[in-house]
Each structure stands twice: as C-alpha cells, then as structure tokens.
Amino acid sequence: MTLIRRAAPDDVQGIAETHVLGWRHGYVGLLPQPVLDGLRPEQRVPRWALAVADADWPRRGALVADDGDGIAGFAHLRPTGDEDAVPATTGEVASFYVRPDTWRRGVGSLLMAAALACFREAGFTTATLWVQEGNERAMAFYARCGFAPDGAAKPDVVGGLEIRELRYRQALT
Ligand SMILES: CC(C)(COP(=O)(O)OP(=O)(O)OC[C@H]1O[C@@H](n2cnc3c(N)ncnc32)[C@H](O)[C@@H]1OP(=O)(O)O)[C@@H](O)C(=O)NCCC(=O)NCCS
C-alpha cells in the first residue's frame, strides 16, 4: 500500500536517494555516463533539506510516496518561476521521480494525482513542468497524466552537456 503525504525532515535522505536512483536509471543515454556514475545522495541532501524546510502548503513543498519500504517517489511543487507565466495562478512540478524498482506500478500516477490536487487547493488554474527533450519515458507518463507540450523550449547545460528542455502544461479544472 502506497501512501502519499507531505515530506517531513526525516524523509530527506530517502528523497535524495530516490533522486539519485531516478537520474541513474532514467537518464542513461540522455546525460553523460560519468556524471550519472558520480552521483551521490549526500550531494543532494542539502537541496532537499532546504526544500522540505521551505514548504508553504499547498503552494510549495515536497510530496512523498511512502510504500512501507521507504520513499518510493517524490514530487517537488512550487509556483512557476517562468518569466512568461503568472506565479499566482500557475503551479510547477519542479522535480518528479519514482524509485526505479517500482516503475510501472502506478506510484507516479498516484503522486501526480496528489500533486494536481494540491495545486487546485492552492488556487492554481494551470500546471506546468519542464522535461528534457528525448526523455520519452517521462513524456509518455506526463501525456498520460493530462499534460501536453505548450511549445516553449529552453536550453540548459548538465554535466557539461547542452540539453534542451520542453515545457508541458495542463489546465486545472
Ligand atoms: C516517469 C516516471 C515518473 C513514471 O513513474 P511510474 O510510477 O513508472 O508511472 P506509472 O506506473 O504511474 O505509469 C502511468 C502511465 O504512464 C505511462 N508510462 C509510464 N512509464 C512509461 C514508459 N516507460 N513507457 C511508456 N509509457 C509509460 C503509461 O501510460 C503508464 O500506464 P501503464 O503502465 O498502465 O501503461 C518514472 O519512470 C521516473 O521516475 N522516471 C525517471 C525520472 C524522470 O525522468 N522524471 C521526470 C523528470 S522531468
């Protein structure tokens, strides 16, 4: 049984571990392999400790999927920071990762349903997210969750590699 709940300080280590596993398994072929091989959860702990401490529900915070064995996934939610969007009405899924050993068992769907419910509670009318071009797994998942590309794209550099990110969007009714 998987429970979705707001992250607490005790979840930070599990979030950081899930984040690293998500990168290692999800970004093979998309990011340089030495970057993936060099990832360590400890590097991610400060970032997630801050995100958990900085929560301002329901507008901002991290949700976790807890499957009894620990953190099976997490979603970091916040108002958009995009220059062409309105933070009062647009919520962004800033990070979304499911532990690879539980992929394709519905954890992501549960987590996304909770994230969108959170956005509605916050009064957001639109949800957006950015996904790396070529991340077909995530794109298929987001499409299944009701998102579609809105045409916006931006460059980024990860581990020295130039990548392109695409924005996905859905109206919240
Ligand atoms: C994308 C991700 C979050 C999906 O999580 P998940 O728990 O496996 O998703 P679910 O089991 O709820 O899948 C729901 C639906 O999404 C679609 N989907 C999920 N994974 C898919 C895949 N590999 N290929 C095609 N469709 C897929 C399917 O329609 C699936 O329904 P089905 O299994 O009944 O066919 C997970 O694979 C992940 O963490 N990937 C690595 C990190 C990542 O890329 N995050 C996004 C960063 S922008």
Q: Is 106 in the pocket of ligand 1 (CB under 6 A)?
A: yes
The pLDDT of residue 41 = 98
Q: Report the topology of domain 3-129.
A: Aminopeptidase (3.40.630)
The pLDDT of residue 173 = 85
| Smallest CA separation from ligand 1 atom 18, residue | 141
Decide if pLDDT at 40 tops 90. Answer: yes
- Domain spans of the chain? 3-129
Residue 63 backbone phi and psi in degrees, to 5: -100, 145
Spell out a b/e string for 142-151, using b for 16 or more CB atoms within 10 Å of the CB, else e.
beebebeeee
Strand pairing of 90-98 and 126-132? parallel
- Range 64-88 average pLDDT: 97
How far, in Å, is the centroid of ligand 1 from the Cα of 135?
11
> Quick one: 7 exposed, middle or buried, by C-beta within 10 A (0-12, 13-18, 19+)?
buried
- Whose CA is closest to 4, among 125, 151, 114, 97? 114
How far, in Å, is the centroid of ligand 1 from the Cα of 97?
9
pLDDT tens for each residue of 89-148: 999 999 999 999 999 999 999 999 999 999 999 999 999 999 999 999 999 999 999 999
pTM, full prediction: 0.98
60: DSSP letter: B
